Each structure stands twice: as C-alpha cells, then as structure tokens.
Amino acid sequence: MQTGMIHAHSGLRWILLILLIITVINAYMKWKGEKDFTSGDDKLSLWTMMVTHIQLLLGLYLFFTSGKVMLSGLDMANAVGRFYTIEHTLGMMLAIVLITLGRVQAKKIVTAAGKHKKIFTMFLIALLIILLSIPWPFRDLGASWF
C-alpha cells in the first residue's frame, strides 16, 4: 500500500504541475488580453485546486507513514529527514494555501481582469514554491521522476 501511495503522490505531481502551468498561462493571457472570466476559467482553477487538495491528502498520509519523515529526534544535519519533515511539508502547505486563497479571493472580485490577475499572481507564486519543494532526483533526496 505504501508503494502505491508513493507512486500516486509522485504521479499526481505531474498532473498538478501541468494544470498549474495551464492555469497560470491562461490567467496571464486573459488578464493581459482583457478577456472575460468564463465558466471554463472558473472550472480550470477549481480543478487545479481540487487536484492540489487530493495531493495534500496523499501527502498527509505519507507524512505520517513514511520512514523519511522524522517526527521525533530530527537531526537538522540530516538533509533527507530535514527536507521531508520541514522543507517539503511547509513549502507544499504554503502553496496549497496560496492556491486556495487565490481561487476564493478571485471569486469575490467583480472585474474579469481582477479575477485573472489574482489567479495568475497567487497560482504563479504557488507554482514556484512547489517547484522548489519537489524532491527532484537531481537533489539526491531519495526520490525518482515518477
């Protein structure tokens, strides 16, 4: 079960990254092009947020069951333990909060340009945090591409 959850969490990362990139590009182009905020734009940000929250649930399961996370006796010199226990967790939580707040705040904005700008800004910051918080294979943190 643990291996399946790790593969699900790792595989869903790619879907989330693709959705985030599409959402950010879409919001930017429509903001700068002064386009209307359509139900398609709303659904795109909703699906991005939902996938982010599913990723959170998988991540929380792994946080409490993984051997890489050290809930007691964390040695800050241990790069792998520190990354998974603190850096990855806090970075991803912050990104999830930004995506959720970005969507909620955009829904309250009256103008289409304001909605697109809010989604672009918040989702872009979240995307950058996520990219920094992913345990990429080249970082030697015991993770693979999938």
Per DSSP, helices labelled H in 33-145 are 39-65, 79-82, 88-108, 112-133
| DSSP 8-state secondary structure symbol assigned to residue 86 | I
Q: Spell out the domain ranges in the chain.
A: 2-67+80-139
pLDDT in tens, 61-81: 998 888 777 666 666 777 777
| CA-based nearest residue to 27, from 9, 45, 39, 8 | 45
Selected residue with higher pLDDT from 99 and 81: 99
pLDDT in tens, 4-31: 998 899 999 999 999 999 999 999 999 9
